[in-house]
Every structure is written in structure tokens, then in C-alpha cells.
Amino acid sequence: MSSDQQQPRGPVDSSRIPRFAGPATFARLPRLDEVGRADVAVVGVPFDSGVSYRPGARFGSNAVREASRLLRPYNPAQDASPFALAQVADAGDIAANPFDIHEAVETVERAAGELLDTGARLMTLGGDHTIALPLLRAVARKHGPVALLHFDAHLDTWDTYFGAEYTHGTPFRRAVEEGILDTSALSHVGTRGPLYGKKDLTDDAKMGFGIVTSADVMRRGVDEVADQLRQRIGDRPLYVSIDIDCLDPAHAPGTGTPEAGGMTSRELLEILRGLASCNLVSADVVEVAPAYDHAEITSVAASHTAYELTTLMARRIAAERESAER
Ligand SMILES: [Mn+2]
């Protein structure tokens, strides 16, 4: 870090103020308005009007913040201190209209775009999966079509529900139609569970998606899966969208559309750590619905997932800064 660069302001010191005291920003980090600007902005989108089954993900953003109180500043699995490598700050919530999905989608796109314009990468805490579409629109406006790694039990490339184009089961079909994804590098990971018909899969493949099912992860192992994903992504700008229902209900019961036979949280975290060289430009973790949770199992898993993603972004930011100074 060069001398003119201010040392990032890190989390509250938990040896002085207990972890369970004070307001719950993500990982006890400063708010964005306290630090002025951020390299990584953690932003909530408490919106769940796009769900097809159990509602409740509107409470996910703050549940993940609460569960993130126990995150510590050094990440040994990636040998990095993300909050020292880059300024990470909590940007609060985007206030999306719960009664008007079209207006909510516009609001999220605009607010995400404003944060991206400050130079921040986004670590978004949902909210239901509908929000991935406006987030991708904002990211693509900055980076062009992006590679997408989509962790989910479901494909989320269905066309419409009840005639509605914007739902939590349709964001990636809309994104392909809009040309905001790089269709040479699209992957679903953790896919499983019953579908409406085989056509769901053939339609999805036509859009360019590759599928790594949860059974593939178990059979091939996390290292091989991460290697293959990394090769497919290369150095393209990458967006990672994580529906917490990619995890087995044993690891994430608090979600809207659970499916048996999913990945463990250990497998998810290890695959993410295997993406260390990728150019992760922004990410989301969505579909945490705390009312169906037990003992914060789901929000703890989501907070650690967001922590690994934040670490990936902070490492990339530090590496880019270093190469620019050379
Ligand atoms: Mn989803």
C-alpha cells in the first residue's frame, strides 16, 4: 500500500467491545458514511416480493449481519486479512418497494449503479433472487457482459410465473435475453431436485449454462470442481451469485425453496476459496429466510460465505493496486 493511501478502517475491536454489543454492521465493520468511500461495499437488499413459495428473505440482510458478529479479521484459509487489504464498509440497505416489483428492480439497479460508480465492488446480502437481475444490469453497465457463477439448487432460468417476468426463479433467463452475461462462461453449481420437465435443462443449456450438480461436487471433489470453474472463467470479470439453498437443508434450513441432497457449507466455502485468482467484480448471497432457521444455522453459513467472497475481492483489489504501483 502506498504512503498516500489511508490505512483501511477495520472492524470494532472485539477485545474491547463484546461481539454481542452495539449495532450489527457486517463483520462489525464501519458504515460507509463513516469512511467516505469503500473498495468493497456490503449492501443489503431486504426485498422478497419475487418468491414463489415461502416468503421471509426480506429479513435475510439483517440476519446475516447479526450472524456476522463472530467473523474475525484474519482469514487463514486464504491467508489474508481482507479488511486490512481493502476498505470494506457496510453501505446499509437499498429500500426497495415491496408492493411493486418493477419499481423495486429499477431502484436496486440505480442504487447498485451509484455504489459501483464510486469504485466499490458490491457484496450484496439479499433478499430473494429477483435482485440478481438489477445487480447484474448495474455490473454489466460498468464491466460489459460478465461471467457468472451461480450457486443454487435451482436453475433460475425459467421464463415466467403467473405471467410475471421478474421473479426469483427467472433472473438469469432475463439476464441472458438482455445480453448482460458472457455466455461463454456461465455455470450453475449445486443444482439438484425435481424440475417441471426435461425442457428446463435443454432450455438452460441453449442459453450457455454448464451444470455442476451437488452430486458432481460430491463425486469429483471440491478441488477438481474449482479447477474446472476457474479454467472456464479465466480472467473475465466474474459475478458470483449464491442462493443459500445451494446448501443442503441440514446446512441451510432457513430458506424459501429447500431441496434435499445439497452441498455442505464446507464444500461451498472450499470451492469459493479455489477461485482465488479470479477477477471477482461483485457478488451476492440471497434467499436467507430467518423465520425457518434454527440456531442461526443458515445466517451463519451465509455470513461465512460473504466473508470468503469479500476476501476474494479484497485480495484481487490488493493485487491490482500492487501491479499498478509497479
Ligand atoms: Mn435462486
- Is 246 among the domain residues? yes
Distance between Cα 168 and ligand 1 center (Å): 6
Around ion ligand 1, which residues have CB less than 5 A away? 129, 152, 156, 243
Distance between Cα 243 and ligand 1 center (Å): 5
- Is 10 among the domain residues? no
Distance between Cα 61 and ligand 1 center (Å): 16
The pLDDT value recorded for residue 53 is 97
For the chain, give the percent of residues with pLDDT over 90: 98
Annotated binding-site members: 129, 152, 154, 156, 243, 245
Euclidean distance between CA atoms 73 and 307, whole angstroms: 10
Distance between Cα 204 and ligand 1 center (Å): 14
CB 146 within 8 A of CB 238: yes
Distance between Cα 72 and ligand 1 center (Å): 28
CATH of the domain at 184: 3.40.800.10
- Is 194 among the domain residues? yes
- Is 7 among the domain residues? no
- Is 14 among the domain residues? no
Distance between Cα 104 and ligand 1 center (Å): 18
pLDDT mean over 221-225: 98
Distance between Cα 294 and ligand 1 center (Å): 21
The angle subtended at Cα 257 by Cα 150 and Cα 186, nearest 5°, is 15
- Is 51 among the domain residues? yes
Number of domains in the chain: 1
First and final CA of the chain: distance in angstroms? 11
Domain hosting 220: range is: 29-325
145, 162, 176, 213, 273 from 306: Cα distances, Å: 23, 32, 25, 22, 12
CB 123 within 8 A of CB 135: no
Distance between Cα 136 and ligand 1 center (Å): 14
Residue-wise pLDDT for 93-125, tens only, equals 999 999 999 999 999 999 999 999 999 999 999
Distance between Cα 167 and ligand 1 center (Å): 10
pTM (global) more than 0.95: yes
Distance between Cα 152 and ligand 1 center (Å): 6
Distance between Cα 169 and ligand 1 center (Å): 6
Distance between Cα 21 and ligand 1 center (Å): 33
44, 95, 163, 302 from 65: Cα distances, Å: 9, 17, 34, 9
Mean pLDDT, rounded, of the chain: 97
- Is 298 among the domain residues? yes
- Is 17 among the domain residues? no
Annotated binding-site members for Mn(2+): 129, 152, 154, 156, 243, 245
Euclidean distance between CA atoms 283 and 195, whole angstroms: 26
Residue-wise pLDDT for 155-198, tens only, equals 999 999 999 999 999 999 999 999 999 999 999 999 999 999 99
